[in-house]
């Protein structure tokens, strides 16, 4: 049976080429990998994306945070890259591995000596419950970070690029982090990273012209499919 089967044209991209494309995309647009609140990222630049702090009552300016992702490394079925036992790579799927750094600015909050808003009366002579002593058990501001090895599996979807042409995108189905306890904490962080990775990878859209190398106009009929370490498309001209 021919590569085109019942269609006129066959096009594909190997996982090595796909990883080259991802490397080129994120190297040229590193802001898709680095996100942070104003204390970490004052403004959006080519290198990083600024986002609001996490608002919380009593914390001036909110909780300051930063997320850094490494460039994902993708493995197309059949599996050749190792995965944690909780994940398996099924036909038609891809896996991805990357490093993630999560950071918070851990600050010591000064208590306002005035009564809380909406409180009647109140004792104004004790400085808000302090006696003037300085508590040195925690620094005034401390950068607290953790680095995680993250694995994901997913599938590809036929989508439209920004210019309206046919493209493919990586859709994440599951995320696994190794060696975090207790299990509830692991599930919580996996949920957070699952949502982040979905959003980041959905922005990476591979135009179908990359599969056909500009040689002809491919009208998709079958695919995109993941087979034999490749993304495959079949169609007509």
- In degrees, rounded to 5, the angle at the alpha carbon of residue 6 between the alpha carbons of residues 3 and 8 is 70
Other Cβ atoms within 10 Å of 62 Cβ, number: 15
Contact 17, 53 (CB under 8 A): no
Q: Tell me which residue of 207, 176, 229, 201 sits closest to 71, measured CA to CA.
A: 201
pLDDT at 218: 57
**pLDDT value at residue 122:** 46
Query: What are the tokens at 112?
Result: 């306002």
Low-confidence ranges of the chain (pLDDT < 70): 1-10, 116-139, 210-223, 235-237
What local confidence, expressed as pLDDT, does residue 192 receive?
96
9-111+139-236: CATH architecture: Super Roll (3.15)
pLDDT at residue 128 in the model: 42
Q: List all residues 6 or more positions away from 38 whose beta carbon is below 8 Å from its beta carbon.
A: 50, 52, 53, 61, 64
Closest CA to 193 of 89, 83, 72, 81: 72
Do the strands 34-36 and 49-50 form a parallel or antiparallel pair, or are they unpaired?
Answer: parallel
Measured distance CA(86)–CA(23) in Å, rounded: 27
């Amino acid at each position: 049976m021919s590569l085109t089967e019942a269609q006129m044209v066959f096009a594909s991209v190997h996982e090595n080429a796909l990883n080259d494309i991802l490397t080129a995309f994120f190297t040229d647009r590193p802001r898709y990998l680095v996100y942070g609140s104003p204390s970490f990222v004052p403004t959006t630049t080519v290198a990083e994306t600024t986002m609001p702090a996490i608002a919380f009552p009593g914390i001036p300016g909110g909780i300051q945070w930063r997320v850094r992702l490494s460039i994902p490394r993708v493995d197309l079925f059949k599996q050749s890259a190792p995965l944690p036992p909780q994940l398996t790579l099924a036909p038609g799927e891809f896996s991805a591995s990357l490093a993630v750094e999560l950071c918070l600015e851990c600050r010591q909050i000064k208590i306002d000596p005035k009564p809380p808003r909406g409180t009647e009366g109140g004792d104004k002579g004790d400085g808000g419950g302090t006696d003037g002593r300085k508590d040195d058990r925690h620094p005034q501001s401390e950068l607290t970070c953790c680095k995680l090895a993250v694995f994901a599996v997913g599938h590809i979807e036929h989508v439209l690029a920004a210019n309206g042409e046919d493209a493919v995108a990586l859709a994440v189905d599951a995320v696994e982090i190794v060696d975090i306890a207790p299990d509830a904490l692991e599930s919580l962080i996996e949920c957070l990273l699952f949502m982040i990775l979905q959003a980041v990878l959905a922005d990476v859209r591979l135009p179908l012209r990359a599969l056909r190398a500009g040689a002809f106009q491919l009208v998709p009929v079958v695919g995109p499919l993941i087979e034999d370490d490749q993304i495959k498309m079949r169609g007509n001209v």
